Every structure is written in structure tokens, then in C-alpha cells.
């Protein structure tokens, strides 16, 4: 729940209902399921088959002709079904939930304006008033306050105060502004005298303390439509991501084609079609150089300078276009990254089962013991590899497809090796086997 720390300041003091906070926490927690599910399968399979081995039930199965691979089939079928369900969850429901979460967080952050009124800016989102706060402090005290009454076409006057504080009413429907040491200025009736300059007099009233109350209509918490949120890759299914990726690739190809045409017509010599073809004489390179050398020095320098500037502009333009193409390729690569991330997380569930089940059968220790610790270390290896490759692929430093499949490919041989050793009754994790080897070595000596 580390992500909640980022929004903690926006949540506290907003007077939100418990249901809203619970929904925010629940939807945020759903994002942890794709990564936590492989760990849950790994630990549960280690503990299950470790307990079966500890109570000699696996030995009883083998004595009846049931091999370890047959004993693993029911849970393997369940794990495959779980992996398929995890993919559909990550592909179909999780994007919808992320849309709701981003919409919910946006609605929460703009619920109350007391923390959103910036310093030194004329804030006019309060109906009928414009407020400027010179300085804000953490305890909600403020300094150098100006409040303009925008009613009656701006003739409502204004209030200036040295300091004050902001607070909300108990029901959260009103913003209370307590002002200290200030003045109120209101327009008085204009007195017009013939032959004199027109004057707009103000009535000034000094106060030591003053309280202003603003109605927060429109600032109460209201849920907006999540479908109106901007499309983020985490809020899209694989089909939507693939469609968006194809559109970006077509757009990039079209832009590249337009750039080539633009450069061709702007910077390359084009045959003059205003004359008949038989009257056009094409210059060779040597003739062109000779014609330039025959020009006067002053004109030749101007031509050379112009050509150099044109070449420099072309170089800068090509560098900009190259950078834009690289950034576009990185953004397109992120689409492949998100697509293959959902597949690799689902396949990781099956790989973790093939690691955990034979490992528990070999160790023959159930419960929370050393096998679980070793299993957690294996999962940490998977998690660190997967997260590192995801970040590198997001920056364009590594191929996004290989990046998302690197961790499963590294751990797959581990699962196959453990399954083979468990099926052949290997004793690689038993202390007795190592003690026997050491005793034999000492006896030989």
C-alpha cells in the first residue's frame, strides 16, 4: 500500500465516507494480485507437498503405483485454470478497476479547495469571489490575504488582511476564513458635481478579527464517469493496446514518408519543367563545380555560406526527427511491454507450481520453515528480475518482449530440474544424504 502515501495529504481532512476510502484501498490492492498470485502458488505448493512428504503420504502413494507426476496432476489442472483466470482478470477487469481508481483519486483531490488554493495566484473557483493568498503554512494559517467580491459587476469591494486561517465546517459544506488585522473597502455612492473631476470613493472599515464563510457548492465529493478518463496503458485491455499500437505505427510511418517527401522537394535539385525536355541540359558534378569556380569571389562566398547554413539546418532537422522517432519507438515498445506482462505473469503461476510442488516433495517439511524461506528467495529473484526488466523496457534500454519473458525463462529450467529430481526420488535437499557422503569420505581416509 505504498502508493497511498502519495495521496495521503489529499485524503486526510476531506471528510470522506468510509465507503469511499474502502473502495479506494480495495481497488488499489487489486493491482497487487498479478504479482502476489505466483508467490501464493509457490508457497502453498511447497507447504502442501512438504506436508504430504512429512506424513509419508507421498511414500504411500508411490507404493500403490501413483507417481509424483500423477499426484501433481489435480493441482496442476487447478493451477492452469487459475493462471487462465489470472490473465482474464488482468486483461478484462483490472483495466476497468484502474479507470475507476484514477477517476476516484481525481475526484478526491478536487473535493475541497482549502488545500488547492495556490500561493500568490488569484483563485476564482469560489462562486462570486476571487481570493489571493500570499503565503500558506502547514497549520492552515495564511498571510497577506486579498478577497475581491465579484458580485454586482465587480463593485462589491474587497478585503485585505495581514493574516488568518482556513478551516472547514463540520459538515464540510462551507469554507470558513478567519482574518486578523485587515480592512474592508466598499464603493460608496458616487457624488457628481458639475465642473469637477469624477471620483469613485471607497468606504474603509478597519477590523482586528473578521470571519468570512464561503459555500462549497460544486466542491463536495461527486463521482465522475470513469470512461471519460484519458486512456492509460494500464487502463486498457490487450486488444485495445494492440489497436492503439497499430495506429501509432501507421502514424509514425506516415510521418516518416511526409518527412522524406518534404526534404526531397526542399533540399534536392528538381528538374525544371517549365521548358521542354529536349532543351534542358543536365549539368554533371564537374561542370557544376567548374561553374561555381567561375563565379566572382563575393558571390561564390555567399553561395557557399548559404549552402553551409542549409546543410546545418538540414542536420538539425534530421537530429530532431531522429529523436522523435526514438521516443515514438520507446512509447510503442511500452505497448508490447504491457501486453506481454499480462501473459508472463499468468505463465509464472504455472512455473511457480513446478518449482514449489517438487521442492516440497523433496524436502518433505510442511509448515512455515526453511523450505518456505528458500521459496521466498526464489520468488524474490523472479520479482527483482521482472521489475528490473520492466523498468528497463519502459525506458527503451532493453527489448520489451524479451524483458518480460526473461524471468520466466530463467526459472523454467529450475522447475524442470526439481520436477525431474523429485520424480526420481532425489535426496539433494536432505541433510542425511550429505551426512552419509561425508561419513563415506572419512571412512575411505
Q: Which tens digits make up the pLDDT trace of 397-422?
A: 888 888 888 888 888 888 888 888 88
Convert 9-20 to b/e letters by CB count within 10 Å (16 or more is b): ebbeebebeeeb
Does 367 score more than 50 pLDDT? yes
Cα Rg of the chain, angstroms: 37
Task: Identify which has the larger pLDDT, 26 or 79.
Answer: 79
Does 281 score more than 50 pLDDT? no
Whether the predicted model's global pTM rises above the 0.85 cut: no
* Lowest-confidence segment of 23-32, 140-149, 170-179, 185-194 by average pLDDT: 185-194
Q: CA torsion 386→46→370→34, rounded to 10°?
A: 30
Residue 169's pLDDT band, with cuts at 50, 70 and 90, is confident
Question: Do 347 and 408 contact (CB within 8 A), yes or no?
Answer: yes
Which pLDDT value is given to residue 239? 83
Question: Do 140 and 165 contact (CB within 8 A), yes or no?
Answer: yes
* Per-residue pLDDT tens over the stretch 250-263: 888 888 888 777 77
* Per-residue pLDDT tens over the stretch 172-225: 667 788 888 888 877 766 665 665 655 656 677 888 888 888 776 555 445 555
Question: Do 176 and 192 contact (CB within 8 A), yes or no?
Answer: no
318, three cell numbers: 534530421
Distance CA 445, CA 439 (A): 10
Convert 189-215 to b/e letters by CB count within 10 Å (16 or more is b): eeeeeeeeeeeeeeeeeeeeebebebe
Residue 285's pLDDT band, with cuts at 50, 70 and 90, is very low
Domain spans in the chain, listed from the N-terminal domain onward: 3-110+343-444, 122-215, 234-336
Does 136 score more than 60 pLDDT? yes
Provide DSSP, 179-190: EEEEEEEEEPPP
> What average pLDDT does the segment 220-233 reach?
56
Provide DSSP, 40-109: HHHHHHHHHHHHHHHTTHHHHHHHTT--HHHHHHHHHHHHHHHHHHHHHIIIIIHHHHHHHHHHHHHHHH
Mean pLDDT of the chain: 76
Distance CA 164, CA 131 (A): 13
Which pLDDT value is given to residue 84? 92
Residue of 3, 202, 250 lying closest to 102 (CA atoms)? 3
Task: Identify which has the larger pLDDT, 187 or 28.
Answer: 28
Which pLDDT value is given to residue 233? 78
How many DSSP H helices and E strands does the chain contain?
14, 6
In sequence order, the β-bridge partners of residue 249 are none
Amino acid at each position: 500500500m505504498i502508493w497511498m502515501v502519495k495521496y495521503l495529504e489529499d485524503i486526510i481532512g476531506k471528510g470522506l465516507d468510509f465507503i469511499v476510502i474502502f473502495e479506494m484501498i480495495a481497488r488499489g490492492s487489486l493491482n497487487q494480485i498479478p504479482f502476489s498470485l505466483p508467490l501464493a502458488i509457490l508457497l502453498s505448493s511447497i507447504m502442501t507437498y512438504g506436508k504430504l512428504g512429512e506424513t509419508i503420504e507421498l511414500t504411500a502413494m508411490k507404493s500403490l503405483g501413483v507417481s509424483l507426476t500423477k499426484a501433481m496432476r489435480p493441482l496442476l489442472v487447478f493451477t492452469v485454470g487459475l493462471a487462465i483466470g489470472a490473465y482474464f482478470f488482468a486483461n478484462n477487469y483490472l483495466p476497468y478497476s484502474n479507470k475507476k481508481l484514477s477517476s476516484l483519486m481525481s475526484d478526491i483531490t478536487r473535493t475541497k479547495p482549502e488545500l488547492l488554493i495556490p500561493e500568490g495566484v488569484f483563485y476564482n473557483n469560489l462562486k462570486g469571489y476571487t481570493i489571493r493568498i500570499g503565503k500558506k503554512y502547514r497549520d492552515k494559517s495564511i498571510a497577506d490575504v486579498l478577497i475581491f467580491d465579484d458580485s454586482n459587476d465587480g463593485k462589491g469591494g474587497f478585503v485585505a488582511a495581514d493574516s488568518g486561517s482556513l478551516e472547514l465546517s463540520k459538515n464540510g459544506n462551507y469554507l470558513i476564513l478567519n482574518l486578523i488585522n485587515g480592512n474592508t473597502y466598499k464603493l460608496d455612492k458616487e457624488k457628481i458635481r458639475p465642473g469637477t473631476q469624477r471620483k469613485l470613493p471607497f468606504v474603509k472599515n478597519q477590523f482586528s478579527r473578521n470571519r468570512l464563510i464561503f459555500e462549497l457548492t460544486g466542491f463536495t465529493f461527486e463521482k465522475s464517469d470513469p470512461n471519460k478518463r484519458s486512456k492509460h496503458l494500464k487502463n486498457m485491455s490487450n486488444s485495445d493496446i494492440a489497436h492503439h499500437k497499430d495506429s501509432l505505427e501507421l502514424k509514425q510511418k506516415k510521418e516518416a514518408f511526409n518527412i522524406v517527401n518534404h526534404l526531397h522537394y526542399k533540399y534536392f535539385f528538381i528538374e525544371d519543367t517549365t521548358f521542354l525536355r529536349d532543351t534542358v541540359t543536365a549539368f554533371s558534378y564537374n561542370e557544376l563545380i567548374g561553374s561555381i569556380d567561375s563565379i566572382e569571389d563575393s558571390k561564390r562566398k555567399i553561395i557557399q555560406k548559404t549552402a553551409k547554413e542549409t546543410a546545418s539546418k538540414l542536420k538539425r532537422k534530421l537530429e530532431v526527427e531522429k529523436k522523435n522517432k526514438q521516443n515514438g519507438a520507446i512509447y510503442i515498445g511500452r505497448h508490447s511491454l504491457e501486453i506481454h506482462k499480462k501473459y508472463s505473469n499468468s505463465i509464472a503461476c504455472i512455473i511457480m507450481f513446478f518449482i514449489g510442488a517438487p521442492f516440497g516433495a523433496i524436502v518433505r517439511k510442511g509448515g512455515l520453515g526453511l523450505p518456505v524461506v528458500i521459496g521466498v528467495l526464489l520468488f524474490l529473484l523472479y520479482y527483482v528480475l521482472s521489475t528490473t526488466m520492466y523498468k528497463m523496457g519502459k525506458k527503451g534500454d532493453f527489448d520489451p518482449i524479451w524483458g518480460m519473458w526473461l524471468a520466466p525463462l530463467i526459472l523454467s529450467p529450475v522447475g524442470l530440474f526439481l520436477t525431474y529430481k523429485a520424480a526420481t526420488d532425489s535426496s539433494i535437499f536432505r541433510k542425511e544424504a550429505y551426512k552419509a557422503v561425508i561419513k563415506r569420505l572419512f571412512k575411505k581416509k
